Amino acid sequence: MPESIEKMASRSSRALVFGVGGGGDILGTLPTSEYLNTLGVETILGGVSWERVVFDPKPGPRSLEEIQNIEKISDSTAYTYKDSHTREGVYFQCSNMANFLNKRTIIVDVSKTAREISRGLQETAEKLDLNLIIGVDVGGDILAGGSEPGLRSPLCDGTILAALSLLKIPTAIAVFGSGCDGELTLDELIGRYELVAKKSGYLGARGMTPDDFSIMSKAVKYVKTEASLLPLKAWKGEHGVFKIRDGARSVNLSIISTISFYFDTKTVYSLSPIGKALRNAKNFQDANKRLHRLGLTTEYDFELNYLKNGKSAGMG
């Protein structure tokens, strides 16, 4: 039986809490970070090196080698600061969060393979004395089975899921803002949550608090995101259908959007055809092709299409 977040926290002094589904997901790490802080765990926030195409016109994630003003921790992780950016002047949401917090964050290079990312996270844990890593996905498509019609960003989530499943230290998957990315419907998500629960992989849930709302409301003045912004509206009682991505996606917002659901990483991975397909990818292009063989179109494909035709999709 997997351990609860509280039990893992009781043996942890320091944790990495990072957004896994795109740059904007770092905003969604705040409720989990705040919760761990109340349990006596020091947290460092992080995110991935893949920004929505409306913020970074280059399709795909950025490698660490493309980012200036960082401090490498491993081949796939680095400290980011408020002035960390690409040579072309693209700032990351990790940089914006560092600016808000006035302290460094960690960026994870998702141009690397799942195994490379896993090795980098393990090295990071050893260097920084991390006892726990929680990957936070805003929306919940990290739990996707692959057949959902609205699925748009399986590559980033699936790569991180595969990487986390390989780690030796305790990890967990958190879903915040269920359905707020406009990909999986709430019914589809609940079905996936229940499937994980049947395999004893559900670790519990926690709703946003007034303190969470306060810090997120301040952080969103720095961090650019659509999906992670919606739970703030839900916390104030707003509900119904909201359009995001220039009207391309619809989100059915409700009070459920304010809840962080926690799941055992290995159980989620065991139920993920996407994560399994990506675990042994040889490089980024190979990972993309592996998902094509599953019949999936990825966020990288959408960004290439955007560059060619100006049709938006994006992440975060």
Q: Tell me the C-alpha distance between 272 and 28, whole Å.
A: 22
Whole-angstrom distance, CA of residue 251 vs CA of residue 205:
21
**Could you list the pLDDT tens digit for every one of the 316 residues in the chain?**
899 999 999 999 999 999 999 999 999 999 999 999 999 999 999 999 999 888 999 999 999 999 999 999 999 999 999 999 999 999 999 999 999 999 999 999 999 999 999 999 999 999 999 999 999 999 999 999 999 999 999 999 999 999 999 999 999 999 999 999 999 999 999 999 999 999 999 999 999 999 999 999 999 999 999 888 899 999 999 998 888 777 778 888 999 999 999 999 999 999 999 999 999 999 999 999 999 999 999 999 999 998 888 655 445 5
Q: How far apart, in whole angstroms, are the C-alpha atoms of residue 86 and residue 56?
A: 9
**Is 316 part of any domain?**
no
Residue 91 falls within a domain, yes or no?
A: yes
With contact defined as beta carbons under 8 Å apart, do 303 and 228 qualify?
Answer: no
On whether residue 314 sits in a domain, the answer given is: no
Q: How many domains does the chain have?
A: 1
Could you give the C-alpha distances from 16 to 51, 125, 229, in angstroms and in order? 20, 8, 22
Q: Is residue 315 part of a domain?
A: no
The helix/strand/coil state of 199 is coil
Per-residue pLDDT at 42? 98
Supply the pLDDT for residue 206. 98
The predicted structure's pLDDT at residue 54 = 86
Per-residue pLDDT at 309: 84
Within-domain flag for 209: yes
Domain hosting 39: range is 5-309
On whether residue 58 sits in a domain, the answer given is yes
Task: Tell me the CB-side half-sphere exposure of residue 77, using CA atoms within 13 A.
Answer: 26
In a domain, 263, yes or no: yes
The backbone torsions φ and ψ at residue 152, rounded to the nearest 5 degrees and listed phi first, read -125, -20
**What is the C-alpha separation between 92 and 16, in angstroms, rounded?**
18
Residue 172 lies in a domain: yes
